[in-house]
Structure 1
Amino acid sequence: MVSHGVAIDPELKNLVLPLTEAEQAGLERAILRDGCHDPLVVWREEGLLLDGHNRLAICERHGLPFETFEVSLPDRDAAARWIIENQFARRNLTPYQRAELALKLEPLVAKRAKENERCGGGSGPSGRQKSDNPVDTKKELAEVAGVSHDTIAKAKYVRDRADAATLDRLRRGQTTLNAEYKKLRKAETRTARLARKAAGHVPRDADCYRVVCADIADAARHVEAASVDWIITDPPYPKEYLDLYGHLAALAVHALKPGGSLVAMVGQSYLPEILQRLSGVLAYHWTLAYLTPGGQAPQLWGRRVNTFWKPLLWFTKGKYEGDWVGDVCQSRTNDNDKAHHHWGQSESGMADVLERLTLPGQVVLDPFMGAGTTGVVAVGMSR
């Protein structure tokens, strides 16, 4: 994108930590009062904006003039590193923000470490050359951020597991990294303990679960009418499976209790057809977003889209009377678990969905069980 002669690269822009609402408002007031004194920094060789994205947006919004300053950089990695390191010098960052910013450097530092290993002197046990100056990634990130190794490790753990609201509070300094790290570790330990306990006996039928192998068209014969609180499922996405949603809707009408809910994770390619099949007999309630951060984004070549989220379509049998629900769920970064089925979803993501929507003791049904993620997580969370 080119704006007033300054090109903006989305990937480079994403390396800039967002301003809080208060910071954004303060910057805008200052520019309106005094003008844009600091020049925008542009990468000379490529003409891409490196620093000043917020100032540029404010100046454009109000028709204000601005100046630019060029820096020469050898390649894109150097440009990315410049953007990240520049923020340490210019911004009043919380400890979590410093660590979060340093973690953006991790791929660049790791890449350099591999290059050093490949191109350095000497040979390793596998014939690979070893550098005389190996790169310690964790140490370098900690030094750049001005924090400890422990802080970097905790920040990475929290970044990959915490919800968006928690991360926002950390960036604002409204909570501490140690506090949120301890909460997440405690919750994860509890979930693992419950999962181990549940895995201790795996008969087909038990007090807390039942497994049925049947055609979706005949599923109603195996489920007692009005016995299920939630149907949470991830049906197949390809076009040839669209008719399954009619069977799913019929099962929901039969199995759900009055006020019960169906939540279906779906692809975006055939949303109109899916909505039509489900809304004919159920009441549309909401669409939640299921985020899949990191390198797990599929490329839909026919649509020319890289997708980083999936809709969770929420339908009800009657009126929903449950608790308030946040409408953004997510898996951990790069947690695209395909170990047991190539359409499988991660336990971390399904745990977030179940935690937001369901309560302990409620009955959860997944008619498209696949590798069993929903069932494992539900049992582990006392559903």
Structure 2
Amino acid sequence: MAKQIKQISRKDRQELIKSTLRRNQGLSNKKIATLLGCSPTSIAKYRLELFGESKLDSMPVNTEDWTQHPWVQRHKDILEKKKLSDRTLKCLRTPGVLDKLVELEGVTKSPRLALTILRKEQRELNKNPSITVTEDAVKLFVADLRNESDYDQIKPESIDLILVDFMYKAEYADLYPHLGRISAKLLKPTGSLVVVCGQLLLPQAMQALGEYLTYNWTHAYMTPNGTQLVHSRRVIPKWKAILHYTKGEPDKNLAYIPDLHIPPPRVAEDTGLHPYQQSVDVELVKAFSNEGDTVMDVCMGSASYIIATLLAGRRKVYGSDANPQYVATAKARVKEFWTKREQVEK
């Protein structure tokens, strides 16, 4: 895509950047710049032009009267004697910053430093979620979607999220009706089925899944570096569909998310275990589930989504695959995950 944007006219380039910003306002300037092959400065320029705000301005702010906060009351001189910049005022109004300044009393009075510390702590919290997942909470087993009795060992209506990345060849299209039936049986009333699906099978997938579940949304899973050719359609795909279905009403506890997903780059550990091995995409798990949820992958392959679910701090994880060899591979990979975690904790 980076090459494509440089080949179009200046006017079309501007419109492409603006339309991308309108659809994905929540993404950072850097992510959008990477996606479109331009500089973050350019994205910031058009963001300011479109919304009259920088990325900082789009931060959530307290709706309560922040001037009545105890820290502000104790330090009125800062507000009265010193003219604060818009950026500093914005930091003061960001949720959690004033409470953090109370904790840092005697250390600093800088709202911007407090915001930096707060964000660092939040990142660390995401890396080490409060929900502790143990080995007993992971169950991996052989099961074929075409044989629904294989899933009788899972309690009905006990799963919050079924996340699966199917193989995209036409020969696997017959799996979608089975996936729909099994998902309808296992998902909780507000549970979600999320399927990463190639465009070639989208019509069959949506028709089959719609027989059993409620369609919620189609998200785009970006693959800008993809080189695979779909010869029958004369297409070089640069994205895949993420189909989101729910059993009933969508879970109101799920966060709002952009419908454009940029997966993490693949590393050495993400290759060699399965012909269609995926990245360990923690953010994808977090996008469609809550901390403490029960997550399942019914076509787990080498267990990339299982590892991602463990890293995301979900309470219980189920994984299945029709191929016993891949189940053995998945178990070995999960065992290695626990071994590495124990070494880190020691």
Distance 2:160 2:218 in 1: 18
1:19-38 pair list within 5 angstroms: none
The corresponding residue for 1:379 is 310
Give the SS at the match of 1:339: coil
The corresponding residue for 1:61 is none
Letter paired with 1:229: D
Tell me: CA distance 1:181–1:224, structure 2 relative to 1, closer, same or farther (3 Å): same
Larger Rg: 1
TM-score normalised according to structure 2 size:
0.55
The corresponding residue for 2:263 is 331
The corresponding residue for 1:258 is 189
1:335-354 pair list within 5 angstroms: 337-347=270-280, 350-354=281-285
When the two structures are aligned, how many residues end up with a matched partner? 230
Confirm whether residue 365 of structure 1 aligns to residue 299 of structure 2.
no
Give the SS at the match of 1:259: strand
The corresponding residue for 1:302 is 232
Tell me: CA distance 1:189–1:284, structure 2 relative to 1, closer, same or farther (3 Å): same
Confirm whether residue 315 of structure 1 aligns to residue 245 of structure 2.
yes
The corresponding residue for 2:84 is none
The corresponding residue for 2:5 is 14
Q: Equivalent of 1:54, from 2, 11, 18?
A: 11
Distance 1:229 1:254 in 2: 12
| Structure 1 unaligned blocks of 5 or more | 1-9, 16-47, 59-95, 106-144, 146-154, 156-163
Contact 2:218/2:241, CA 8 A, preserved across alignment: yes
The alpha carbon displacement at 1:380 in A equals 1.2
Distance 1:302 1:183 in 2: 52
- Which segment drifts farther, 327-336 or 280-289? 327-336
The alpha carbon displacement at 1:326 in A equals 2.5
Q: Equivalent of 2:213, from 265, 268, 282?
A: 282
Give the SS at the match of 2:195: strand
Distance 1:184 1:305 in 2: 42
Please list the CA deviations of residues 92-124 of structure 1 after superposition, one character each: whole Å capped at 9, or x if unmatched: xxxx88xx79xx79xxxxxxxxxxxxxxxxxxx
Identity of aligned residues (%): 24
Give the SS at the match of 1:230: strand
The corresponding residue for 2:161 is 230
Q: Equivalent of 2:141, from 207, 212, 230?
A: 212
Distance 2:55 2:260 in 1: 21
The alpha carbon displacement at 1:237 in A equals 1.2
Please list the CA deviations of residues 283-316 of structure 1 after superposition, one character each: whole Å capped at 9, or x if unmatched: 11111111123x2342212211111111111111
Please list the CA deviations of residues 39-65 of structure 1 after superposition, one character each: whole Å capped at 9, or x if unmatched: xxxxxxxxx87xx6129999xxxxxxx
| Structure 2 unaligned blocks of 5 or more | 16-28, 57-86, 88-111, 315-346
The CA RMSD over aligned residues, in Å, is: 4.1
Q: Which has the higher contact order (CA 8 A, sep 6+)?
A: 2
Letter paired with 1:221: D
Distance 1:276 1:286 in 2: 14
